[in-house]
Amino acid sequence: MAQPEEGRGATPAMAQTGIKELRRDLADARDEQIVQIVSLVDAMAVRGSADALLDALRPRLMVLRPPRPATLGRLLFQPLDPVILLPQRWRRDSLGVPRTALGPLGAQFSQSVGAAAELSRAIQGQSLTDRAVVVGVAVPLWRHGAAFFATSDMPEDWTKLTGLAGADYVTIARSISVLLGEAFEVEAISQHVSLGNQVPIAQIKACIGRVADAALSLPPGTGARAVGMLAVILLARLPPSVELIGAISDAVSARNDRGAIQASEQAIDFALDAIESDMKFVGDVSEVAAEQLRVAMLLDALETPGPTLRPSLKPRAEKLRRQADTACRARFETDLVERIVRPAEALGPDTTDEQVQSLEHLARDLRRLETTGRRLGGAEHYERCLRKAMESLTAPSGDASCLVDRARLVEILLGSDRAMALVGLSYPMK
């Protein structure tokens, strides 16, 4: 059996030249075409090499996030999303699972676990985004997955299907087992935090402690990697604050396990790698704003004096901050002028409700970007841009029939106190 290149995973062979050509063509496809293709592939009963098409699209799918039908495999491995890597980015020592492993692992699970068929039927026809529907299936599924991959044997066609070495199976399967064992807890913590509650430090430490305990029975290196992967998942699922990074650091330090400590530091590097490789300023403003907020939080946390501050990270963090700040400013200014102010100047009697709503939606997204941008690099630039925008939006030359629409844009971008005069309202701000 041919062994893959040492230290690196390999993609499965793709013989069909047709697929290669299609992949080249898809590089220039529009977003809506991509969504359509994904929908067509998802609808295929037997996907075969069509899956290879999706591999080429994965980076864009991460941005577009089209609705995907719930499948057992997708739901089973959903808790691992932050550590699933494209095969070309996966290294044997990285804190990740190569995407190529998921198909064979999912198939093995479905064929071997008795409850799989029933769980699969329960989510048939549902969308992964419909949490209320899939949530009842996910919890038992993850428990079955944790139990199965704790002792599963490598399938015969593993290397053929994945391009990975035989030894990789045990490392990957056992790590997945440990992580799926904590999937419910991580989801519950994430829900708790999404309600606006503080990050539950004790629960996070307990979660890491359990993974570290479970790791003791794993082959050398595998346990520490599982701890590191859990840290990556927590950093991706929760606000990457000083408190969270501190909790992870405290939890692994308390175990006095050098491997786990290194793995948790590697998790930070993993997060910074992800920022570096995926830093996006194109596409939807709200997604850019949300992503940059996470970037700003992580950088703030890494630069805060204290136990989480690693001197070696500082230059890298500063460089990333500068890049993010510059890009945020540029994106904000361009969108404010080109997509808000100019269209607002053209508002008139023929302007549709949809056009106005779209402008307001964008204005709100820009406010989010501005909030993050201020955090990354200060307020002055944004205030200057907004002052100019205010002059245009309140200019008396605008069409009177859309005065309220312009006032609302001013309200969203600059606050109601500046907008009220436009519509004859007044209120004493104190």
Partner 1 sequence: MPNTSSANSKLLKFQPNTPRSFLERGVAAPFTTALLSGARLRRLTRIAGSLNDREVKGEPLQGFATLENGRPGIEVVVPNPSGARGVYVMLWSDVGALCRPTMHDVAMCEHLVARTNPMLPLTPLMVRKAARDAALRGLAGRLAAQAARTAVEQEALQAVATRRALFAALLKQTEAPGTSPPAHLLSEAELEARGKAALEMIAQRHGRKVQDITGHFAAMAEVLVDIGFGEAKGSARLPGVLSAMAMLRNELLPLGKVSKGESFIEASGASALQIATAADAAISMAVKPLAMIDLRLRSIETLLDEMMTEPRLIQDLVEQPDWIADGWARICDIWTLAVGQGSHAQALAEIHALVPVLPDELEGWLGLAAGSTAEINSRNAPVGTVWRAEVSNQDRVARNEHLRAMAR
Residues that bind partner 1 (CB under 8 A): 129-132, 135-136, 139, 184, 187-188, 191-197, 239, 353, 356-357, 360, 364, 367-368, 371, 404-405, 407-408, 411-412, 415-417, 419-420, 423, 425-430
Instruction: Quote the tokens at residue 353.
Output: 């409700």
Tell me whether residue 174 or residue 367 sits nearer to partner 1 (CB atom).
367
Nearest approach, Cβ of 421 to partner 1 (angstroms)?
10
CA dist., res. 332 & res. 160, Å (int): 48
Instruction: Quote the tokens at residue 383.
Output: 């205030």
Nearest approach, Cβ of 404 to partner 1 (angstroms)?
4
Tell me whether residue 395 or residue 423 sits nearer to partner 1 (CB atom).
423
Tell me whether residue 91 or residue 361 sits nearer to partner 1 (CB atom).
361
Nearest approach, Cβ of 193 to partner 1 (angstroms)?
8
Nearest approach, Cβ of 182 to partner 1 (angstroms)?
14
Tell me whether residue 257 or residue 335 sits nearer to partner 1 (CB atom).
335
132 SS3 class? helix
Nearest to 26 by CA among 57, 58, 67: 57
CA dist., res. 190 & res. 101, Å (int): 26
Q: Count Cα neighbours of 37 within 13 Å in the Cβ-side half-sphere.
A: 23
Nearest approach, Cβ of 105 to partner 1 (angstroms)?
24
Tell me whether residue 129 or residue 217 sits nearer to partner 1 (CB atom).
129
Nearest approach, Cβ of 371 to partner 1 (angstroms)?
7
Tell me whether residue 224 or residue 235 sits nearer to partner 1 (CB atom).
235
Q: Any residues with CB less than 8 A from the CB of 155 and at least 6 apart, and which? A: 104, 107, 108, 161
Tell me whether residue 60 or residue 364 sits nearer to partner 1 (CB atom).
364
CA dist., res. 208 & res. 245, Å (int): 12
Nearest approach, Cβ of 223 to partner 1 (angstroms)?
26
85's enclosing H/E stretch is strand 84-85
Nearest approach, Cβ of 197 to partner 1 (angstroms)?
6
Q: Any residues with CB less than 8 A from the CB of 369 and at least 6 apart, and which? A: 285, 288, 289, 292, 328, 331, 332, 335
Tell me whether residue 3 or residue 357 sits nearer to partner 1 (CB atom).
357
Cβ pair 406, 347 in contact under 8 A: yes
127 SS3 class? strand
Query: Residue 176 burial by CB count (10 A; 0-12/13-18/19+): exposed, middle or buried?
Result: buried
Give exposure, 89-114, as e/b (b: 16+ Cβ within 10 Å): ebebebbbbbbbbbebbbebbbeebe
